[in-house]
A and B are shown apart, each in its own frame.
Chain A
Amino acid sequence: MNDILFHLVLFVAIGAGIVALAAFYSEPDDAKALPGLPRRFAVFALGCGVLALLLVVAGHTVASVR
């Protein structure tokens, strides 16, 4: 499998687990926690995407090692 694709699959797996347990921790009622999972995951993925973008930009500018 393509390496980047494999890393994306791993990211989705670990992100889904983190989001699921964080949702259950913050919402005691399962019936309310479960429907909120997709939105929580989208926010998590978006946040990680922004962070990754900032790191790439920094890697090519202020934190470049070339």
Chain B
Amino acid sequence: MALETGRSGRGDANVAAILTWVIPGAGHVYLGAPLFGIAAFLVVTGLYLLGIRLSEGMAFEFLQTDLRSPIAPILTPEVGNLSAVIWHMRTYGFGPSFPRPWPAHIDLGTFLTACSGLLNACLACKAHFDARVPQGMHSKKPSPGLLVLAGWILPGLGHWLQGRRLRGAIVFVVVAGFVVLGSVLADGANLDRERHFYYWSGQFLAGAPAWILEVLHGHALVRADIRYVDAGLAFGAVGGLLNILAWLDVYSVAEREGLKHLEPEARPAPEVVA
């Protein structure tokens, strides 16, 4: 993608995206949009800090002892906000060696830290695209980062907003259908991050269908063996992972269309001095 970077762009697209991944908003500061960069930093980092406060930094204590390692967070949504996840691991890690009660709002807290990671990934998409828009121009089409964000929040919405409605409907049916079917098969046990840490991470990518189901059915007690729990976990996680393919499709089309439809930025009219 970044190989198409023209010299007329605002900067190197890969540098902008990587800077954003490392420090939210840094890519836009690099591209000469410091106000947007600082605002983005405040929102993304604020979300992570709020999540840490609610969960008391205990998100990675959900992991079973044999799964704990310094690279364990790589497969979590939080890794989208790299500096935050490194700080999180260094400050809180896996907690003390003895079990302790979870804080009252740990589920909401870990949900917010995960949201921060995904939001920053969308911001990196935006930085990657913005870097290739020449100075003084802007695209008439919606930002690829915004469409990817829409496709995360509601599977298929990114396609729908692009006018590819049949494709959007099919994406929604497949992704949401997998999460619903998985939840039925696993009796809702798949929806709890404490029980199935990594499967939850996959499922989280399916957006609102997974989040709503988690609120409604995600934290019930498991009182008996669930016969098809493995199949349920597979369906839920595969649904979320397939949504990544949908985002890539949305991004590539939005990128192509966005760079084709550029127009000069509106500037304020010069004051006429009498």
Chain A: residues with CB nearer than 8 A to chain B?
Answer: 7, 10, 13-14, 17-18, 20-22, 24-25, 28, 30
Q: Which residues of B contact A28 (CB under 8 A)?
A: 249, 252-253
Q: Which residues of A contact B248 (CB under 8 A)?
A: 25
Q: Which residues of A contact B167 (CB under 8 A)?
A: 24, 30
Question: B234 near A14 (CB under 8 angstroms)?
Answer: yes
Least CB separation from A34: chain B residue:
B166
Q: How far is the CB of B141 from chain A (nearest CB, A)?
A: 16
Known: A17-B239, A21-B245. 12 other contacts (CB 8 A): A10-B231, A10-B235, A17-B178, A17-B242, A18-B238, A18-B242, A20-B170, A21-B171, A22-B245, A24-B167, A25-B246, A28-B252
Q: Which residues of A contact B177 (CB under 8 A)?
A: 17
Q: Which residues of A contact B239 (CB under 8 A)?
A: 17
Q: For the complex, is B164 an interface residue (Cβ under 8 Å from A)?
A: yes
Q: For the complex, is B108 an interface residue (Cβ under 8 Å from A)?
A: no
Question: B181 near A13 (CB under 8 angstroms)?
Answer: yes
Interface residues of B in 215-274 (CB under 8 A from A): 231, 234-235, 238-239, 242, 245-246, 248-249, 252-253
Quick one: which of B166, B178, B245 contacts A30, CB cutoff 8 A?
B166
Question: B174 near A21 (CB under 8 angstroms)?
Answer: yes
How would you classify the secondary structure of chain A's contact residues: helix, strand, loop or mixed? helix
CA A28 to CA B167, docked complex, whole Å: 10
Least CB separation from B227: chain A residue:
A3
Q: Determine which residue in B174, B185, B245, B246 has the highest number of CB atoms from chain A within 10 A of its CB, and name it.
A: B174
CA A7 to CA B171, docked complex, whole Å: 23
Quick one: which of B170, B234, B238 contacts A24, CB cutoff 8 A?
B170
Q: Which residues of B contact A22 (CB under 8 A)?
A: 245
How would you classify the secondary structure of chain B's contact residues: helix, strand, loop or mixed? helix
Least CB separation from B166: chain A residue:
A30
Question: B245 near A14 (CB under 8 angstroms)?
Answer: no
Quick one: which of B174, B238, B249, B252 contacts A20, CB cutoff 8 A?
B174
Question: B164 near A30 (CB under 8 angstroms)?
Answer: yes
Q: How far is the CB of B169 from chain A (nearest CB, A)?
A: 11
Q: How far is the CB of B230 from chain A (nearest CB, A)?
A: 10
Q: Determine which residue in A24, A25, A28 has the highest number of CB atoms from chain B within 10 A of its CB, and name it.
A: A24
CA A21 to CA B251, docked complex, whole Å: 15
CA A20 to CA B214, docked complex, whole Å: 26
Least CB separation from A6: chain B residue:
B228
Question: B178 near A14 (CB under 8 angstroms)?
Answer: yes
